[in-house]
Structure 1
Amino acid sequence: MNRYAAWAHPQLAAQVLRRRRDGCSEIALSVESLSDARQVLQLEQLIRSLPGVKRVAIDRPARRVRVVLDISCTPLPTLLANFAAAGCPAQPLQHDSIDDARSEEQRDALKRLLVAGMCAMQVMTYAFVIYIGVVDFVDFSTRNLFRWLGLLTSIPVVFYSALPFFRGAIRELGERRLGINLPVALAVALVFLASMFNTLRGHGEIYFDSVTMFVTLLLGGRYLELRSRHRSGALGDAVIDAAPLLAQRRRADGELETVPAMTLLPGDRVHIAEGTRVPADGVLQTADVQVDEALLSGESRPVRRQRGEPLIAGSVLISGPAELIVEHSGNTTAVARLGELATRARQTRTQIAASDREVGRFVARVLGLTVLTALGWLLVNPERAFESAVAVLVVACPCAFALTRPATLTRALGVLATRGVLVTSGEALARLATVDYAMFDKTGTLTVPQLDRRAVEPLRGDSIAQVLQLAAALAHESSHPLARALADTARQQALPLQASSVHVDAGAGISGEVDGQMLWLGRADFALRASGQAMPSHASDALLLADTNGAIAAFHLDEQPRAEARRLLHSLRADGIAISMASGDAETRVASMAEHLGITDWQARQSPIDKLERLQAAHAAGHTTLAVGDGSNDAPLLAGADVSAALSSGTELAQAHADLLLMDGRLGGLIDARSIACQLHYVTAQSRRWALAYNLCAVPFAAFGLVPPWLAGIGMSLSSLVVVLNALRVGKQDLAADQRTGPTSGAREVAA
């Protein structure tokens, strides 16, 4: 129990426990050892049996557990001790990772979509009876009944499902701009009110089917985009979780005490164990240590720090232990400031899209035509003024025009999802087609670890083939980039050996039994832990293979370009995009990789602020910028770019601030994304030309009373259907051919 006693500290508990309205508390925990269904079931039964536990939800793929409990019955230390007793040690997560707000937004959007969809289908059945009455006789009282049924069924759609559009329109008016919500809200409100007026007076045309269908289609598109955005946003819940929540503080009498990291004060002396994360920014008091600072610097290899040099919170102590004098803790650490910098950079992006302004101009013209038609008929024949004005409003309704972007964007998001690209910002995807400047990080983005057979160093006289065979048996059981690099090197030879009893120690290495002997593969401190031997000085930055007797072999890893890096850079250059590389790595390695990839504009030893300033300078020069990275140090760069992309193998902070997420580390997904972005522009412009042409042809007939309102409603529905069908062309090969052979590209199409 003593191991978890520190979690009884009120300030520490406040970071991980969230109070609920019913008086209970909720906590999210990371449980890395969830391996099989039986273990999950046993753990759930054990936790549910504890006093005061109300609910247990286990997400096995994500290795997360959420517990709702009364902490007066089961305190937090007791809960954690029971997790450990079940063989599933749990690490509490900050309460921000409990994403009920995000889940509530998604549930609300889904409910509105389902209500609109069900009501729209029902209204269509009522409208079918009314449409039959145009060509065949239907009793007048029967038609009136179905008109009233259509009105009643449309009310939930207009006053519940379409409520987000009305709220958005009010917000846009408050900001003195015409956005996408305003024309949608006007179309829904005016057409519904006109239909309700005709229903109440017992004659005239109604358009409840068109209104409900329109709302359903728009809500469907918004729901899909919302899911994509939330899926990526969930990755950034633990922005400051890189720094541990607990710290070992040395008291005045020299004894260590476990305290919340956020309570550390400047001047406190902290003990850091080997292989753990630094809990606060401070000054090193130990003579010599090695740390992994890739979190902030982007340095691909461990760095050596001497007494008096700074250590940053979140970095990993590779050789230790170490003593630290605290300078900054909690929200004032470098990693916390990094998250704030990324947030400020994202807020500088422009929020008003050109497409919204186009829709605003369009709806203003439609309303102007409607008013002119009503005034004209009031002078000539007042009895036909209302009907003709409604016909113009319905014929020229911005439904089809406003639907072009959501329908095409929804199709583009679906196509990219099948190609391994997750899009969290539709506006950023649209901007991708106009990008003319791209900045890349190096380490982990354009490069991956590489192991050459000549870099394999047997330490006991074994052959290279023998040690590769042993190491690869373990490496095949891990998905870590270093392990994959080693496994790929050994793949050319037969591997009859297999590992059993495998255990992965996250961030340290992998252990298991191979050919009857227990082996450890990973960082030197991890691999040599069982033997108690010291780390070879010449292998300090190598991957070690060891058994109980000590080190067997060292594997010195280097970098190589990612498989699709050259193809991506060639594709971007062919499109006239300027390429730049900014890295926090050493100058020699950055220069070597830049020459290898043909990049002439590169910078080394770049801090996150340096990268952001270079990007902002390019933006100030009139460029539309693209940033691609994978580390937490790239978060401000990604947040400040017009368009940003991160690899799924990158850190959570980087993914949280990226507009595009490239799954499986495929840089080629960016080529697909740019192609689809150009098609998005092309199809959107094409559909809007159709909507404009349709309006130019139909509005004069409607204004002169030659188009009955029921026919205008059908025309509006058909024009919207054409837009939806045209959106399905996104991702098709024939569309790509049209763009290559057509007079203009998609990007130039929209600019026109």
Structure 2
Amino acid sequence: MNAAGMHAAWLHPRLAAQVIRPRRDGRAEIALRVEGLTDPRQQLRLDARLHALPGVTRVAIDARAQRARIVWNPDRLALPQLLDAFAAEQCGARPLRREHIDDARSGEANDALKRLLVAGMCAMQVMTYAFVMYIGVVDFVDFTTRGLFRWLSLLTTAPVVAYSAQPFLAGAWREVSTRRLGVNFTVSLAVLLTFGASVWSTLRGHGEIYFDSVSMFVFLLLAARHVELRARHASGALGEAAQDATPLVAERRRADGSLETIPALELLPGDRVRIAEGGTVPADGVLESEAIEVDEALLSGESRPRRRQRGERLVAGAVVLGSPAELRVEHSGDDTAAARLGQLAGRARQARPGNGAADREATRFVLRVLALTTLTALAWLWLDRARAFDAAVAVLVVACPCAFALTRPAAVTRALAVLAGRGVLVTEPAALDTLARVDYALFDKTGTLTTPRLDPDAVEPLRDGLAPQQALRLAAALARESTHPLATALAAAWPGDTPAVHALKVSATAGIGAEVDGRALRLGRPDFALALSGCAAPAGAAGTLLLADAEGPLAAFHVSEAPRSDAAATLQALRGEGIATVLASGDTRARVAPIANALHIKRWAGRQSPIDKLALLEAARAQGHVTLAVGDGSNDAPALAGADASAVLASGTDLAQAHADLLLARGRLDGLLQARHVARQLAQVVAQGRRWSLAYNLLAVPFAAAGLVPPWLAAIGMSVSSLVVVLNGLRVGRAGTGPALRA
């Protein structure tokens, strides 16, 4: 299908409805995946071209993430015209489903930031007012002035309680509804009772007030939660990536044999579909054309293409290599295997056990605080009824879980920053608690424990007079312009100098094109490389890298795989810590066995489907193990979602990253060791902080219960306790305590 035909198909109402999101202001918004955008100058030209289109009001291009987001007036500009602008700059743009317009997370982050800013500004002002009143302890301040500042403190604290503290109040309501009391309940109870008591004292004109404690406490907790939220959002990924791999349009054959472009969701069982060479299968079905080569790594995880014969089944998301194919549809939309894979991963994540130990500890702390407050109130009701309420509030302020509630957020915030600096991004901070206790690790093979490798003698010249070394030199010139694992392997096979490269164009899924020594060359998949000449792929070319020019193929490069340079050391270190290492791969047993032997893995299995891998993890958990899954492919997503903790390499697919807790951004497995070391330090620091909280309460609560803690002393105690916890949290990941960081 040509670009014009593909773009015109987006005029179909049902197809456009899948990708365009109407806005309240009457405009439309769309998210696109953009390929081939590697030159900053090209990005500037594209930005200028898009802004010059009628009706375009906003353009956001993220070349690194291969994403663009456009807002425009649909009455003045049609979607095909928008896509034509991308094509004019030689960078293909593919609309993404409207669910990928990420307003949910950005809205959550903006809401958290606004609440934090309100709490911060109010807390600073209230502390200023409190300072004036505290001066009255050592120097006289007339009662009129003190009364004025009491009222100013009340008015300034009210927005903190009514607006900024809402996340804690909502969390407390959920805890009460589920009858599982946690820190939110204690925080909310302390804030409401303390604020209420302070308001009553202000109205009466006498009694203790704690507005400064309330506002500062809310601000500190919001700050810690905001940093944690930003780290989680920065590392997040698209949860619908498996369905994103399935095309939204398809070429359906009419009864007279002609082709029509329709939305893929309109495909029905029995429809016949044509899939172009290099195209993606839009639905599950039966192959009706001759034998073809297909890449099914999305589901099977196999590192090499598979040959499918007439009558065999193809799965949505598979890539057709070589010649075009004809498919008879059996399942489409949410019924495809790719969609079911995403659904399986979602169910596995929902079924993952929660952090019950932390919940139980929080519940015990809450009950202790409530018991102390109740006992204090009862004691003063018997001794002096007039002082009962003030004494109970004082206990609640002093025993307020400031140190307890800040211990984990402060330490986690530090841990996230340390790990980010070491190339490990954490998408689920709670997984760090689990990672410290892991004793069973399940690894994928292809792309996780292994990387592509090209031996110089695996170069096959396809043009008379071309020596293998000449072909490798030309190919390496192109390969060095890409970070794709296959390109990296090819570039590493040529240690010498390479000619200059001009007019570079990179397709993330197909290959690299450029001018080298004055002629146009392409390196990549056979269909991509041969598009310059229109020649057919040579026999046996599927699954290889092909170098070609305008006259046809030049050379084929047969890539094998080898263990990652840091795989053996990482696995050995994990085994040294008592962690069982298991290899489960979708590849054949013949290809898994040598890798397992090279890495000294005793427990391994081949031909493992996503369900098989998930079953291995569930069996290990049933035996009492705490599990870790490490992978990189979409077929690993259910295992990543179902494990107690999970990690994915930076080269992993969107779906894998969406369901992993850790992203090894530098593409090195030894990031696991860094993460585990920091996780264990985090556990130690959190335990120390909570012991400090207990000691602080044991020391301060008796004085508060006796009515000997005035507001200024309670504020100082809260500040000192918070400072101790935060400073202790900074010990996580300190220099010299972890394994040596490798570049």
Question: Is the shorter-chain TM-score for this pair beyond 0.5, marking a shared fold?
Answer: yes
Three-state SS of the structure 1 residue aligned to 2:682 is: helix
8 Å CA contact 1:387–1:709 kept in 2: the answer is: no
Deviation of the 1:42 alpha carbon: 4.8
2:334 equivalent to 1:331: yes
Q: 1:182 to 1:110 in 2, by over 3 A?
A: same
- Indicate the larger mover: 517-526 or 453-462: 453-462
2:257 equivalent to 1:254: yes
In structure 2, give the amino acid aligned to 1:519.
L
Alignment of 1:367-378 (within 5 A): 367-378=370-381
2:475 equivalent to 1:471: yes
In structure 2, give the amino acid aligned to 1:602.
W
Aligned to 2:490: 486
Deviation of the 1:718 alpha carbon: 1.3
CA deviation digits over 1:497-548, x for unaligned, max 9? 2221222233222122222332221222332333444433344332222233
Distance in structure 1 (CA, Å) of the matches to 2:736 and 2:529: 55
Distance in structure 1 (CA, Å) of the matches to 2:577 and 2:38: 47
Aligned to 2:13: 10
Aligned to 1:404: 407
2:532 equivalent to 1:564: no
8 Å CA contact 1:419–1:672 kept in 2: the answer is: yes
Distance in structure 2 (CA, Å) of the matches to 1:633 and 1:518: 37
CA deviation digits over 1:115-157, x for unaligned, max 9? 1111111222222222222222222222222222222111111
Alignment of 1:582-621 (within 5 A): 582-621=584-623
Identity of aligned residues (%): 65
CA deviation digits over 1:662-696, x for unaligned, max 9? 10212111111111111111001011111111111
Q: 1:422 to 1:561 in 2, by over 3 A?
A: same
- Indicate the larger mover: 98-107 or 681-690: 98-107
8 Å CA contact 2:394–2:704 kept in 1: the answer is: yes
Three-state SS of the structure 2 residue aligned to 1:290 is: strand
Aligned to 1:510: 512
8 Å CA contact 1:97–1:238 kept in 2: the answer is: no
Q: 1:294 to 1:16 in 2, by over 3 A?
A: same
Match 1:145 to one of 145, 148, 155: 148
Aligned to 2:530: 528
Alignment of 1:452-463 (within 5 A): 452-459=455-462, 460-463=464-467
Aligned to 2:386: 383
Distance in structure 1 (CA, Å) of the matches to 2:450 and 2:42: 38
CA deviation digits over 1:171-230, x for unaligned, max 9? 111111112311221222222222222222222332222222221121112112222222
Distance in structure 1 (CA, Å) of the matches to 2:663 and 2:494: 30
Three-state SS of the structure 1 residue aligned to 2:299 is: coil
In structure 2, give the amino acid aligned to 1:361.
R
Q: 1:44 to 1:539 in 2, by over 3 A?
A: closer
Three-state SS of the structure 1 residue aligned to 2:482 is: coil
Aligned to 1:176: 179
Three-state SS of the structure 2 residue aligned to 1:308 is: coil
Aligned to 1:704: 706
Deviation of the 1:53 alpha carbon: 4.1
Aligned to 1:746: none
Deviation of the 1:34 alpha carbon: 4.1
- Indicate the larger mover: 141-150 or 442-451: 141-150
Three-state SS of the structure 2 residue aligned to 1:720 is: helix
Deviation of the 1:54 alpha carbon: 4.4
In structure 1, give the amino acid aligned to 2:654.
E
2:555 equivalent to 1:553: yes
Aligned to 1:428: 431
8 Å CA contact 1:394–1:709 kept in 2: the answer is: no
Q: 1:657 to 1:80 in 2, by over 3 A?
A: same
In structure 2, give the amino acid aligned to 1:452.
D
Deviation of the 1:323 alpha carbon: 0.7
Aligned to 1:744: none
Aligned to 2:733: 731
Aligned length: 735
8 Å CA contact 2:403–2:693 kept in 1: the answer is: yes
Match 1:123 to one of 119, 122, 126: 126
Distance in structure 2 (CA, Å) of the matches to 1:267 and 1:105: 44
In structure 2, give the amino acid aligned to 1:654.
A
8 Å CA contact 2:36–2:508 kept in 1: the answer is: no
Match 1:274 to one of 272, 277, 288: 277
Aligned to 1:321: 324
Match 1:114 to one of 109, 114, 117: 117
Distance in structure 2 (CA, Å) of the matches to 1:136 and 1:342: 65
- Indicate the larger mover: 226-235 or 682-691: 226-235
Match 1:210 to one of 190, 213, 234: 213
Q: 1:98 to 1:451 in 2, by over 3 A?
A: same
Aligned to 1:100: 103
Distance in structure 1 (CA, Å) of the matches to 2:88 and 2:530: 28
Match 1:445 to one of 442, 445, 448: 448
Distance in structure 1 (CA, Å) of the matches to 2:685 and 2:255: 70
Three-state SS of the structure 2 residue aligned to 1:370 is: helix
8 Å CA contact 1:679–1:736 kept in 2: the answer is: no
In structure 1, give the amino acid aligned to 2:256.
D
Three-state SS of the structure 2 residue aligned to 1:243 is: coil
Aligned to 1:302: 305
Distance in structure 2 (CA, Å) of the matches to 1:214 and 1:273: 62
In structure 1, give the amino acid aligned to 2:494.
A
Three-state SS of the structure 2 residue aligned to 1:71 is: coil
8 Å CA contact 1:292–1:302 kept in 2: the answer is: yes
8 Å CA contact 2:265–2:332 kept in 1: the answer is: yes
Deviation of the 1:241 alpha carbon: 1.2
Match 1:624 to one of 623, 626, 629: 626
Match 2:682 to one of 668, 680, 687: 680
Normalised to the residue count of structure 2, the TM-score between the two structures is 0.95
Distance in structure 2 (CA, Å) of the matches to 1:179 and 1:117: 24
Distance in structure 1 (CA, Å) of the matches to 2:546 and 2:70: 39
8 Å CA contact 2:182–2:366 kept in 1: the answer is: no
In structure 2, give the amino acid aligned to 1:219.
L
Deviation of the 1:86 alpha carbon: 5.6
Aligned to 1:750: none
Deviation of the 1:21 alpha carbon: 2.5
Q: 1:549 to 1:683 in 2, by over 3 A?
A: same
Deviation of the 1:734 alpha carbon: 6.4
Match 2:35 to one of 32, 35, 40: 32
In structure 1, give the amino acid aligned to 2:693.
A
Three-state SS of the structure 1 residue aligned to 2:448 is: helix
Aligned to 1:722: 724
CA deviation digits over 1:229-271, x for unaligned, max 9? 2233343354411011111111111111111111111111111
Deviation of the 1:38 alpha carbon: 5.5
Distance in structure 2 (CA, Å) of the matches to 1:80 and 1:539: 33
Measured on the aligned residues, the alpha-carbon RMSD in Å equals: 2.0
Distance in structure 2 (CA, Å) of the matches to 1:90 and 1:732: 44
Distance in structure 1 (CA, Å) of the matches to 2:83 and 2:596: 49
Q: 1:553 to 1:76 in 2, by over 3 A?
A: closer
Distance in structure 2 (CA, Å) of the matches to 1:736 and 1:521: 42
Q: 1:303 to 1:398 in 2, by over 3 A?
A: same
Normalised to the residue count of structure 1, the TM-score between the two structures is 0.94
Deviation of the 1:2 alpha carbon: 4.6
Q: 1:389 to 1:124 in 2, by over 3 A?
A: same
Match 2:288 to one of 285, 291, 303: 285
Q: 1:690 to 1:28 in 2, by over 3 A?
A: same
- Indicate the larger mover: 1-10 or 221-230: 1-10
Deviation of the 1:606 alpha carbon: 0.5
